[in-house]
Chain A
Amino acid sequence: MEIVVCIRRAPTTDARIKPAASGKTYDPAGINYDISEYDKFALEAAILLKEKHGGKVTVLCVGHKDATKEVRTAIAMGCDAAEVLVSDGDHDAWAIANVLATRIKALPHDVVLFGWTSVDNQSAGTGQMVAQLLGLPSVSVVVDLEVADGKAKVARLAAGGQRERYEVKLPAVFTCQKGLNKPRSANMKGIMAAKKTNVPETPAAAPASGLITIQLDPPPPRAAGKIVGKGPEAAAALAKLLRTEAKVI
């Protein structure tokens, strides 16, 4: 089985985000990067599929050439090959989806996996856009995935904790949600193998973004709050304030 996993290099979730002087993107000073959280569930799902069905896992990452570090982490987990599709600058999901779709078209692919959203841009749509561009079925926010006989049985999380079940023909695109599996850590053997693996950095021509960035702002500040009191004795006063002052109950 040929599996392609698309991952994103994103600021770690403990990062403090400040707009850069341009006012269009964030200030990269002091920011550490990691594989975007949900992409780890996609990587684990890919490795589990390979372990069960045999085959190969190829990792693709669009972005800065520094992403080689994150891509090597994916290889250390158990993926076989990886490429960084180098394209500097800020791209929206539409531009990234175009770069990925062009590359995936040239690769054998039975299953294409994504994290359901990135922790930075949170577009939550790159996988579906790639599926549309390739004319493939897509199921997003997947929490259950089984593959057999050229088909996949999947469940996605829908409104109110409901699960929608699908059965789709492969090749197909799935975006992965927490709960699908528990991503493994790389072991020493994997880390050594990753060091020796050649990671091609291929320049990729991204089309213009579909969205035009006008401005990146800090969130509006919240007004200072008040401590109503200490301990259970303060409960009645709080309930009253929420009714008469905040008017939310």
Chain B
Amino acid sequence: MANDVLVFVECSGGKVVKAGLQALGAGSRLAAQLGGKCIALVIGQGLEAEAGKLGQYGANRVLIAGGEAFAAYSPDGFARAVAAQAKATGAACVLASATPMGKDFMPRAAAASQCGLAADCIDLRAEGGKAVAVRPVFAGKAMLTVGASSALWATLRPNVFAEAVSSNNVSPEAVTAGFGPGDLLAVVKEVVAGVSGKLDVAEADIVVSGGRGLKDPAGEGKPNWEALEKLAGVLGAATGASRAVVDAGWRPHGEQVGQTGKTVSPKLYIACGISGAIQHLAGMSGSKVIVAINKDENAPIFKVADYGIVGNVEEVVPALTAAFQEVLKS
């Protein structure tokens, strides 16, 4: 129906991912505002049990596309499946999480439906009976509010939208693909674990980031990353890095936070020895709480920080690690 919201709920390793439930939560609240239903779409094989749980997370209907074409991830295959259900349901809004998977296939799905795509949105609501979304542009230097003349297609930033709680009794309805594995243009052949196998900086609740100020005490010029990783370890945080540290080859580029790296919005961001270039600030100032540690009290990072410690990061970071260990015990 024209007031319904279709949400692609992402699964990984046979389980629904957190960002998928968050997108479903956002979709269910929008559907309520629009006076329509929230329809979840799960794609993949062996996901019937997971799909069956989605009535507890805001879904009024659950669709599952589990044919052979979906044995492995395919950008064009998933795009076709979502576009087909967007058409079949006539949804007013089509959502997915702005994870690496959602960002990959949703542009194709929107294009297949002759629609634009509002990427990486941080707010979603109904205005005058139509869906509108807010998305950061220039890595957060400005906020763009957009709508659409037909259906609004959007991907939603992880860790921004709350999950919904509901007790809808829904059984998944199987939908057919209408195409087979032989029709796919690109299919993932193999997934290789990351070098670190660690939590992604863009998906973490807590991020501990290091910059040029984090010098090696041995004077090698390389940053003392071990101290930073200990701090991150105590908090269960992901580690991030400034561009200077990445360009010097000290950290992988996947950890870079900023306008030319990842935009992050964790609940806690701890910047260690990062002065706060405008590109870095753009990438992290959407964080809920920002802590800055820097020896220069005039460093721009303190302008966006909620809490600051002026001091040498090599001394402050180990002291903080110990202090967090104490507090987390209590």
Give the B-binding residues of A (Cβ under 8 A): 11, 13-17, 19, 26, 37-38, 92-95, 97, 119-129, 131-133, 135-141, 155-169, 172, 177-179, 208-220, 222-223, 225-236, 238-243, 246, 248-249
Contacts and interface: CB of A to CB of B under 8 A. Distances in A.
B14 interface: no
Given A131-B108, A232-B316, A246-B289, 5 more contacts: A132-B79, A160-B200, A177-B253, A210-B114, A235-B322
A171 to B, nearest CB: 11
B120 interface: yes
Contact of B146 (A167, A177, A214): A214
Interface of B: 12, 73, 75-76, 79, 99-101, 103-108, 110-112, 114-120, 132, 135-149, 152-153, 185-200, 203, 206, 235, 252-254, 256, 259-261, 263, 267-268, 277-279, 282, 285-286, 288-291, 297, 302, 304-312, 315-316, 318-320, 322-324, 326-328
**Main secondary structure on chain A at its contact with chain B?**
mixed
A38 B40 CA distance: 34
A166 B73 CA distance: 10
B194 A161 contact: yes
Contact of A138 (B186, B203, B260): B186
B285 to A, nearest CB: 7
B141 A219 contact: yes
Given A17-B141, A132-B79, A178-B260, A93 B116 contact: yes
Given A172-B186, A211-B146, A124 B103 contact: yes
Contacts of A140: 75, 103-104
Given A124-B107, A239-B324, A17 B288 contact: no
Contacts of B318: 232
Contacts of B117: 93-94, 123, 125, 129, 210-211
Nearest to B254: A161
A165 B188 CA distance: 6
18 contacts: A11-B138, A13-B260, A125-B103, A125-B117, A129-B108, A132-B108, A135-B185, A138-B75, A162-B193, A168-B185, A178-B260, A178-B261, A210-B153, A212-B147, A234-B309, A236-B326, A246-B306, A249-B235
Contacts of A210: 110, 114-117, 148, 153
The 6 closest A-B pairs by CB, nearest first: A210-B116, A161-B194, A125-B107, A232-B319, A137-B185, A235-B319
Contacts of B328: 249
Contacts of B297: 227
A177 B136 CA distance: 20
A234 B186 contact: no
Contact of A248 (B145, B288, B316): B288
B237 to A, nearest CB: 10
Contacts, number: 301
Contacts of B148: 210-212
Grouping DSSP codes into helix (H, G, I), strand (E, B) and loop, the B interface class, with mixed when no group exceeds half, is mixed
Contacts of A13: 259-260, 278-279, 282
Contacts of A38: 260
B144 A125 contact: no
A156 B101 CA distance: 11
Contacts of A178: 253, 256, 260-261
B8 to A, nearest CB: 15
B308 A225 contact: yes
Contacts of A216: 137, 142-145
Contacts of B305: 225
Nearest to B187: A166
Nearest to A214: B145
Most chain A beta-carbon contacts within 10 A, residue among B185, B191, B196: B185
A215 B145 contact: yes
A129 B259 contact: no
Interface centre among A19, A160, A169 (most CB of B within 10 A): A160
A238 B188 contact: no
A238 B291 contact: yes
Contact of A231 (B153, B189, B312): B312
A139 B112 CA distance: 16
Contacts of B326: 236, 239
A94 B192 contact: no
A211 B107 CA distance: 13
B191 A132 contact: no
